[in-house]
Amino acid sequence: MKAIVGLGNPGTKYSMTRHNIGFMIIDELSDRLGLKFKSGKGEYLYSSNGNVILMKPLTYMNNSGIAAQEMIHYFKISTTDLLVVSDDLDLPFGKIRIRSNGSNGGHNGLKSIIYHLNTDMFNRLKIGISNEKREFIEADKFVLGKFLKKERETLNEVITQSVDIIERFISNNIEESIKFNNKNRLTIN
């Protein structure tokens, strides 16, 4: 069974912020699969169809690893079957990158997951959120900010492409999904 964890912050205050793109993608995937979220045996919401578990931490971003660890242990998921979906401040808006392992890249949610799982050997789908205003705004304020108008115009396409990649991960493997890194076809003007 595969497990997909979307990172974000709970509550409507954060729902449309850059930091919550992981939640947005998981919500779209849940809709596409016809699944509904329910409370888990820990600090998370989940939905499942027997082949995949989708999870959203109820902790704030910096404690995402607590919820991921609870879910992994309860459902007995191997870290090789885990895919974490997060924003990436170092990638331009709309750039999508999938990796089979790596560092936290300065992302506190990934840092927490690496710490609580005691490994960086899990898959991650990183969604670029940076733009030309990034250099003028502190990182914490930028990630908690809303998308620009021109970004909102193509946000659904970013989410759709991300869900397509995740579906390939679910039905195949990480190697098949990584092929998308060279086919990132989204352009923002």
- Going by their DSSP bridges, the two strands 2-6 and 82-92 should be labelled as parallel
- Going by their DSSP bridges, the two strands 38-39 and 52-57 should be labelled as unpaired
Sign of the torsion angle spanned by Cα atoms 167, 21, 89, 146: positive
DSSP SS3 for 8: coil
Q: Which of 19, 73, 107, 116 is catalytic?
A: 19
Q: Return the axis-axis angle of helices 108-117 and 64-75, rounded to nearest 10°.
A: 40
Nearest to 166 by CA among 35, 17, 11: 35
19 is catalytic: yes
Query: Residues with catalytic annotation?
Result: 19
